[in-house]
A = this chain, B = another copy of it.
Amino acid sequence: MDFTSQQRLDDGVLERRFTLDDIPGVLWTPEPARTPSPLILLGHPGGLDRMYPRLVGRARHCVAAGFAATTIELPGAGDRPRSEAVEQARADLQRALRAGEPVPGEVVDRLVLPLVEAAVPEWRAALDALLALPGIGGPVGFSGGIVSIAVRLALVEPRIAAALLFAGSVVPTAILADARRVTVPLLMLLQWDDEGNDRQMALDLFDALGSPEKTLHANTGGHTGVPGFEGDDANRFFVRHLV
């Protein structure tokens, strides 16, 4: 892990950019450091530069509650090499959506499963590197999307003690099967009027999740309209389970 730049934000947050095996990432920590901060992994749909304004807002909110926050670029997003097969699946998905047709399960599988298979080991490698830094402690929370990555990580990575899932993308059947075996406390956020999201698919995923403690927060509004108070709810959820 190589730190490539750092800056102090104006509200007591140190932002450090890094690369880990050519994967770009960002780490936000309290400044001055409080030791050790539980770590929140911030999920996103890919494209760190495009997502930066929203990510830094979420990260500041995490740090204000005493957490460190981090994220890494997704496979095939930003400047990372594209997978031809995944791009073909994305085109197939968008064609079905434009035509108002149901998205075939095999298209969902071709789009999401390779992403999950590639991303999960990268997030775990990032955890190995980040948890070795001074000032970063366990346990770890995952917060955001892509929801299939979150579910698989929550299932296979024992250092993840709680997860906030942002329901906003199609879910392969294999991930529904994973979901039944997840046991960590979960908070799922659902935007009730999300144009690009299948509400029933999200409710089916919530129903499938095996965790004894799971909570769904659904709000009116579209994909990017999550109300500000959900940021506070998210912090309280992670404080309950990570602190």
Please report A residues at the B interface, Cβ cutoff 8 Å.
Answer: 192, 203, 206-207, 211-220, 227, 229, 232-233, 236, 240
User: B residues within 8 A CB of A219?
Assistant: 214-216
A-B contact pairs, 6 of them (CB 8 A): A203-B203, A211-B220, A215-B217, A215-B219, A216-B216, A218-B218
- Residue in chain B with minimal CB distance to A230: B215
- Of the candidates A206, A220, A227, A232, the one having the most CB atoms from chain B within 10 angstroms of its own CB is A220
Contact A218 B220 (CB under 8 A): no
What's the minimum C-beta distance from A243 to chain B, rounded to whole angstroms? 14
- Contacts A220-B212, A220-B213 known; A236 to B229 CB distance under 8 Å? yes
Contact A216 B218 (CB under 8 A): yes
- Residue in chain B with minimal CB distance to A213: B220
What's the minimum C-beta distance from A144 to chain B, rounded to whole angstroms? 19
What's the minimum C-beta distance from A234 to chain B, rounded to whole angstroms? 12
Name the one of B207, B217, B232 contacting A216, with C-beta atoms under 8 angstroms.
B217
Q: Sorted from nearest, which 7 A-B pairs have the closest CB atoms?
A: A216-B218, A215-B219, A214-B220, A217-B217, A215-B217, A212-B220, A213-B220
Name the one of B207, B214, B218 contacting A206, with C-beta atoms under 8 angstroms.
B218
Contact B218 A215 (CB under 8 A): yes
- Contacts A192-B207, A203-B203, A207-B192 known; A229 to B240 CB distance under 8 Å? yes
User: B residues within 8 A CB of A216?
Assistant: 192, 216-219
